[in-house]
Amino acid sequence: MAELFSDLPEALENTVEIAKRCNIEVKLGKHFLPDYPIPDGMTIDEYFRKVSFDGLEERLSVLLPRTPPRTTRPSVRSMSTG
């Protein structure tokens, strides 16, 4: 990077300053997820499955709108000639 921006030393200095400000400490082994209310009578797994399925149905209804099945015309061979 120093070679790429050798004509802009202030860009390198700014990059170093930004990097110094980007500091995060992560506690391993601990989850930081929000608590969602689960409806009574459902486990978290059941609720997750339901919400996932409902979301999939919603997305698929946009991608694949339901249309009535096409009716096929009878073939010439199956028509009786009278």
Closest CA to 38 of 30, 48, 27: 48
Q: What is the pLDDT of residues 52-73, one digit of tens each?
A: 999 999 999 888 877 766 767 6
pLDDT score, position 7: 86
Determine contact, residues 17/3, Cβ cutoff 8 Å: no
Q: What is the spatial distance between Cα 3 and Cα 18, in angstroms, rounded to a whole number?
A: 19
75 or 56, which is more confident: 56
Tokens of residue 22, six digits: 């980007």
pLDDT score, position 43: 94
Q: What is the pLDDT of residues 21-49, one digit of tens each?
A: 998 888 898 888 888 899 999 999 999 99
